[in-house]
Amino acid sequence: MQTKISVLINTLNEEKNIRNCLESVKWADEIIIVDMYSDDKTVEIAKEFTDKIYFFEKCGYADPARQFAVDIANSEWVLIIDADELVSYKMYNRIKDIIENNLADIVYFPRNNYFFGKLLIGSGWGALQDFQPRLFKKAFVKMTGKVHDIFDISHDARKYYIKNHEEGFIHFNYIDVEHFLEKSNRYTTIEAKNMFEGIKSEMTFTKLLKKIFKDFIKRLFIQKGYKDEKYGFSLSILMTSYYISSYLKFNLMKKYNSSNPKYKIIEEYKKKAEEILNEYKNHE
């Protein structure tokens, strides 16, 4: 490629993924790692591929660090990739063609998602259901920093969609159910805090009921989750639990007027325990 491209990767404890990810983007003119102070071998492995390693405060998810990485990049073109993703050879060739012929300002790639060891066909995670705007010219995109809503795209940007799933990302998403619940717990806390702090609109109980019903029907039937059989059904159910968890966490924050109500609830329990134990003292 004549025009240079920078690959940006945000990391936090990704030693199990980062080597394969970096092997798939060795062709890039510049590889930039923005790490959130990993305490495993992520940085050590990354140093084998690049000396451009920077650090950003740990905040539970990568999105706030995206713009930081973009600002550091020296190339006109930027490719954002997560540590649990790979760029296939066919995708690499498509990237070359787009850049060399200046076909777009921002490119949406399909993503081949693996859940629990299975490549999904539907459920909202089928390759042609999950387009990601990851290749772009720096001048046309800004990062919002919001969880799962990171791109602010210029209105005059030329958009280009890759419709061949073989030219998309390979995404090793959730390893097992424990991994899903672990990430879900982290992201639902962020969602709840955003509602509590007014960054995101509040979810009422009525909105919650509508959301979980519509999402379940959408994933299982409209997005053909039934083709993923037991996985599609199970994931459709698990995603409803995501919204329920966000709602419950937000309501606890609101009730106790704290983004971390855990300790206030513990104190409340202590006081209740004292009341109960005092009954023994009153009868001595």
In this prediction, residues 211-219 reach a mean pLDDT of: 98
DSSP H/E element including 112: strand 106-115
Architecture, CATH, for domain 5-172: Alpha-Beta Complex (3.90)
How does pLDDT run across 196-213, given as a tens digit for each residue?
A: 999 899 999 999 999 999
Residue 96 corresponds to which tokens in the numbers above?
């070359």
* Domain regions of the chain by residue span: 5-172, 176-276
State the pTM of this model: 0.90
In this prediction, residues 33-41 reach a mean pLDDT of: 97
- Helices 229-256 and 205-217 sit at what angle, rounded to 10 degrees? 170
Contacts for 217-226: CB closer than 8 Å, 24+ residues apart: 218/124, 219/122, 219/123, 219/124, 220/123, 223/122, 223/123, 223/124, 223/126, 223/129, 224/121, 224/122, 224/123, 224/126, 225/122, 225/123, 225/124, 226/122
- The sign of the torsion formed by the CA atoms of 210, 216, 219, 221 equals negative
Q: What is the reported pLDDT for 161?
A: 98
Mean of all residue pLDDT scores within the chain: 95
Is the pLDDT reported for residue 2 higher than 60? no
**Site of tokens 């923005």:** 34
pLDDT band of 147, cuts 50, 70, 90: low
Contact of 241 with 215, CB cutoff 8 Å: no
